[in-house]
Amino acid sequence: MAPLWFNPPVYVKTKRPGIRNGVSHVEGAAEELMGWDTKGPKWTTAVQSCVDAFEGRASPQEVREAFEAAAKEANVWPAAGLLDTRLS
C-alpha cells in the first residue's frame, strides 16, 4: 500500500535533545504513536484514526489533526528553534 500523505507535516520531539521528526503520512504517525510513553485519550483517538485511514474510513487530514492533538497532549509538540528536522 502506498503511503497516505498529509500536509503540512506534524513535527514531534524525539528522544534525542534538539532533534524533531516531521511526520507527513499515516504510516509515520502510527509508528510514532506506538513509541510514545504518554497514552492519553487523544492518543487513543489518533491511533483509531490511523486504523480508520488504513481501512478507508478516515482521510489522511483527519489523521493529521488527531495526531497533532495527541502530540500536544503527550508533550512531544516541539518548542520553536529546534536544531534539526527529519521527515518520515
Measured distance CA(22)–CA(83) in Å, rounded = 13
Quote the distance between the C-alpha of residue 51 and its chain's center: 13
| Average pLDDT per 10 consecutive residues for the chain, totaling 88 residues | 90 89 97 96 98 98 98 84 47
Q: For residue 9, what are the contacts with CB-CB under 8 A and spacing of at least 6?
A: 22, 23, 24, 87
Give pTM, 2 decimals.
0.87
Query: Residue 56 region, left (φ>0) first, then alpha (ψ -120 to 50), else beta?
Result: left
Measured distance CA(84)–CA(47) in Å, rounded = 26
- Report the pLDDT value the prediction gives residue 2, as an integer from 0 to 100: 78
**H or E stretch covering 66:** helix 60-73
